[in-house]
Amino acid sequence: MASVRRSVLYIASFVCLALAYFLSDLRWFLTVVSVSICFAAVSCVITARRLMFMAAATPHAALFAAALGVMLSSYVGLLDPYLWALAIGTAIVLVTGFVVERGVDPDIATSVMVSATACGSVIAITWIATYLSMRYSPLSLIVGDPLLVDWNEVLLVVAISVAMFFVAIAVHRVSLCMGFDLDHVRLATSRVWLYDIAIYVSLAITSVAMVKVVGFVLQHVLILLPSAIGIAIGRSARDVLEVAVCISIAASSLGLAISILLDLPPSGMIGLAFLCIYIATAILRKLRT
């Protein structure tokens, strides 16, 4: 039965990929597929490490980092907005993770982080809309639009996605063990902090680098639902990862294809495709039990 479900997933993913490929521009196709694979892999690692509270809060840090990066690049120079945003977003996530590791309640730490970055985002986005609107559109940071990418952005997205995917694969097994019994892992190795840094950095880079492409809103869906669907279908940690990646590819490709056919925002349709798949999965799981 498990092999049948896996085969169905592979076939469905291939069909959605083919549909998106023939309906869309190559730039859009590469962007959407790369983003879906990257978020799915990171989603599974975050879930295995039991850091879902951080996953839900990180898009707020990404939005603030991206907006502040635009401002700093315009007024200070020195670095590209992407580099400013990556540095700021990674620092925020690492500081929050450090505070949690030092014993602060995760809900309190993330609440403070979300509150601070939300206020900062409002100020930064208003500033961009008022003084920098001729060069930057703050709406793109919130809504996102993968159809507006140029080839330089496509190559950046693909490179980051490949790097984050392999990082996620490398730390997935240890993350799973840390999620089940962190004390035992700390006794087994003294490099727990190194794995935590890799997990936090991969989450931060994924969120910040993709915020312009998929937007602040869709990030919540891309980073939370793939692993949730994978857990509902998969029988093992490997199954969860495979299912999450396949479902993410299928939902993103299907959403892209539907958005092109109906002339609707791709970010919204991708999120809706994820939601429909999650609801269908939850219903099937309920019926099976």
Cβ contact 74:132 at 8 Å = yes
CATH superfamily of 2-132+148-284: ABC transporter involved in vitamin B12 uptake, BtuC (1.10.3470.10)
Instruction: List C-alpha distances in Å: 13 to 230, 242, 243, 253.
Output: 14, 12, 10, 8
The pLDDT tens digits for 114-136 are 999 999 988 888 888 887 765 66
Helix (H, G, I), strand (E, B) or coil at 46: helix
In Å, how far are 62, 105, 173, 197, 198 from 192, measured between CA atoms? 25, 19, 13, 9, 10
Round to whole Å and give the CA distance between 64 and 84.
11
Residue-averaged pLDDT of the chain: 84
pLDDT interval class at 188 (50, 70, 90): confident
Structure confidence by residue, pLDDT tens digits, 136-168: 666 777 777 787 888 888 898 899 999 988 988
Residue 84 has a pLDDT of 85
Structure tokens given for 158: 């693909």
Find the DSSP H helices in the chain. Answer: 2-23, 26-48, 52-75, 81-101, 106-131, 138-142, 151-180, 182-188, 192-233, 237-262, 266-288
Contacts made by residues 176-183, CB under 8 angstroms, sequence distance 24+: 176/48, 176/49, 176/237, 178/48, 178/49, 179/47, 179/48, 179/49, 179/50
N-to-C CA span, the chain: 15
Of 36, 78, 104, 57, the closest CA to residue 204 belongs to: 57
**Contact by Cβ (8 Å): 21, 254:** no
Estimate to the nearest angstrom the gap between the alpha carbon of 69 and the chain centroid. Answer: 19
User: Which position has the token pair 């989603």?
Assistant: 43
Helix (H/G/I), strand (E/B), else coil: 37: helix
* pLDDT value of position 3: 61
Determine the residue type at 171. V
Structure tokens at 109: 């730490």
List pLDDT tens digits, range 58-115.
888 888 988 888 888 877 766 677 888 888 999 999 999 888 888 888 889 889 999 9
Residue spans per domain, the chain = 2-132+148-284
Cβ-Cβ contacts under 8 Å for 48 (sequence gap 6 or more): 172, 175, 176, 178, 179, 237
Q: What is the mean pLDDT of residues 264-279?
A: 88
pTM: 0.87
Q: Higher confidence at residue 213 or residue 2? A: 213
**Closest residue by Cα to residue 25 from 196, 142, 147:** 147
Of 8-12, 18-22, 206-210, 280-284, the poorest mean pLDDT is in 8-12
What confidence tier does 241 reach under pLDDT thresholds 50, 70, 90? Answer: confident
- Cβ neighbours of 286 (radius 10 Å): 9
pLDDT computed for residue 119 by the predictor: 92
